Amino acid sequence: MADADDAQSYIDDMARKRGYVLDYHKVMAKHDFEVLKAANGLVNAAYLSERLLDRRTKELIFICSLTVLKAPKGQIESHIRVALDLGVSAQEILEAIEIALPEAGVVAFQIGFDAWKNVVGATGLEPTVVVHDAGVTS
């Protein structure tokens, strides 16, 4: 069993490399450090290590994947922030989220879209006509 200092150092290193740490990472570091390291090893190999795809591209794929899977909004937001930090534009991120529409549908898209809107502070246009329930009157 690892000591608390090893687990803390590991979590700090994860935060530096990823730009975020999820709640389950924090809890697993304290309660099952060995499994956290094993799971993180897979993430490092598939996601964090640059091979043929660069980190920006992988981040966009990750955002789209999380959207399709209807992941918790906070998890999608974490990856959107990382993408922005990597220099991906808000519009590029939106385009990646929009890829979910044909295969996963509007509900999945709306989850990713809402996360994107919250992170980038996007606003919309208000109708200039009076709106009642689902119908519109002018």
Domain ranges of the chain: 1-49, 53-121
Rounded Cα distance between 138 and 130, Å, is 6
DSSP letter string, 41-98: HHHIIIIIS-SSS-HHHHHHHHHHHHHHTT--HHHHHHHHHHHHHTT--HHHHHHHHH
pLDDT of 1 strictly over 60: no
Give the range among 46-60, 63-77, 103-117 with minimum mean pLDDT.
Answer: 46-60
Q: How confident is the model at residue 135 (pLDDT cuts 50, 70, 90)?
A: low
Coil/strand/helix, residue 32: coil
29-65 residue pLDDT tens: 999 999 999 999 998 888 888 889 999 999 999 999 9
Task: Decide which of 137 and 57 is more confident.
Answer: 57
Q: How confident is the model at residue 90 (pLDDT cuts 50, 70, 90)?
A: very high
pTM exceeding the 0.95 threshold for the entire prediction: no
When the candidates are 3.10.580.10, 1.20.1290.10, 1.20.1440.120, 1.10.3720.10, the CATH number that belongs to 53-121 is 1.20.1290.10
Look at residues 20, 7, 76 and name the one whose alpha carbon lies nearest to residue 48: 20
